């Protein structure tokens, strides 16, 4: 990846986040419970997840392994964190999701596909080309230690919450129930909260601009969707817990 390609891809991620954040409060992305007709052709949801997420671990790896520092321990730790998240999200999560006959508009899949090419590539670039500080001494830097801890707290919350959701449905079922337990005690979308925390941790631990850009995008994309989920739950279930917030415990 050249410096110019990096700059274009970075501003694509940041611009995309800045534009989608306000828009998503008015137009909810049309997939899952918010799926509706009028968004063009659709494809099966499981296939969609693989197609749109797989470019992220692949492009990260392609850019990462072009660089001479790809054999160094600290950059490799960030490679490992990225793959830990994205190999699961691309190739395991879609096949564990329950709900039959779900589809996604090709339009949303195409947007996510492009996003993940750019995001995977700039983050592979981030921890190699931009990561001159990611040497062995970085392992004892407070930003690294705190960031790794935050990353794994977010990762745990995200996985625990997706596990709770998955178990709400028996195989073949596709309706919705009120999720309970874990951080669902406090908020309607702890899977999104966990994902946001995870990437804030990654940004802190890596201390490079692409990590921060992705944390910003994740918040911009998922916070408005959590608000839409929250309203949807309140309208659908009369007995929906009143104390529950949308995305930030006790606050929002
Ligand atoms: N980094 C990012 O920008 C980004 C963007 C999007 C997603 N993600 C991550 O990808 C994962 C999935 O995202 P998502 O938007 O699909 O999450 P979601 O709307 O919470 O749905 C997750 C899964 O649980 C099912 N589900 C949700 N609520 C349910 C309920 N009340 N009862 C029964 N089943 C329920 C959904 O079924 P249906 O599909 O049938 O609704 C889907 O299979 C999350 O961990 C999220 O953090 C990350």
Atom of ligand 1 nearest to the CA of 179: 31
Q: Are 37 and 105 in contact (CB under 8 A)?
A: no
Residue nearest to atom 36 of ligand 1 (CA): 32
- Pocket of ligand 1 from Cβ distances under 6 Å: 32-33, 97, 99, 102, 158, 162, 165, 168-169, 174, 176-177, 179, 191-192, 195, 218, 221-222
**Residue minimizing CA distance to atom 2 of ligand 1:** 218
The pLDDT score that the predictor gives to residue 100 is 80
Number of residues in the chain: 252
Distance (Å) from CA 201 to ligand 1 centroid: 21
Residue 71, burial from CB neighbour count under 10 angstroms (0-12, 13-18, 19+): exposed
160 C-alpha to ligand 1 centroid (Å): 13
Using 70 as the pLDDT threshold, list the residues of the chain that sit under it. Answer: none
Dist. CA 184–CA 169, nearest whole Å:
16
Residue 39 CA, ligand 1 centroid: distance in Å:
19
Distance (angstroms) between ligand 1 centre and the Cα of 175 equals 13
Give the position of tokens 């990462």. 64
Distance from Cα 142 to the centre of ligand 1, integer Å: 33
Q: Which residues pair with 85 in a beta bridge?
A: none
Which of 21, 30, 31, 32 to probe ligand 1 with, by most ligand atoms within 8 A of CB? 32
**How much is the pLDDT for 172?**
84
CA–centroid distance, 67 to ligand 1, in Å, is 35
Q: How many CB atoms lie within 10 A of CB 48?
A: 22
**50 burial via Cβ count (<10 Å: 0-12, 13-18, 19+):** middle
Name the residue of 35, 82, 165, 219 whose CB sits within 8 Å of the most ligand 1 atoms, as the mutation to test its pocket.
165
Whether 161 contacts 222, CB under 8 Å: no
60 closest CA partner among 30, 42, 37, 83: 83
pLDDT at 135: 98
**HSE, side-chain direction, 13 A CA sphere, residue 247:** 18
Average pLDDT, the chain: 97
């Amino acid at each position: 990846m050249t410096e110019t390609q990096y700059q274009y891809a970075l501003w694509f991620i940041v611009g995309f986040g800045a534009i989608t954040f306000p828009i998503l409060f008015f137009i909810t992305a049309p997939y899952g419970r918010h799926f509706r007709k009028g968004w063009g052709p659709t494809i099966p949801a499981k296939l969609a997840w693989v197609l749109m997420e797989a470019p992220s671990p692949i492009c990260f790896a392609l850019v990462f392994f072009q660089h001479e520092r790809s054999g160094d321990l600290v950059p490799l730790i960030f490679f490992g964190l990225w793959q830990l998240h994205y190999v699961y999200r691309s190739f395991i999560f879609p096949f564990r999701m329950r709900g039959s006959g779900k589809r996604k508009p090709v339009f949303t899949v195409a947007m996510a596909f492009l996003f993940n090419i750019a995001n995977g590539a700039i983050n592979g670039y981030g921890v190699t080309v931009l990561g001159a500080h990611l040497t062995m001494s970085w392992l004892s830097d407070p930003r690294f230690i705190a960031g790794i801890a935050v990353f794994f707290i977010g990762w745990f919350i995200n996985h625990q919450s997706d596990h709770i959701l998955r178990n709400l449905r028996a195989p073949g079922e596709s309706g919705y129930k009120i999720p309970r337990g874990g951080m669902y005690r406090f908020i309607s979308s702890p899977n999104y909260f966990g994902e946001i925390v995870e990437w804030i941790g990654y940004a802190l631990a890596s201390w490079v601009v692409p990590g921060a850009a992705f944390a910003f995008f994740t918040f911009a994309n998922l916070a408005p969707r959590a608000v839409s989920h929250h309203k949807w739950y309140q309208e659908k279930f009369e007995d929906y817990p009143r104390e529950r917030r949308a995305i930030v415990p006790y606050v929002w």
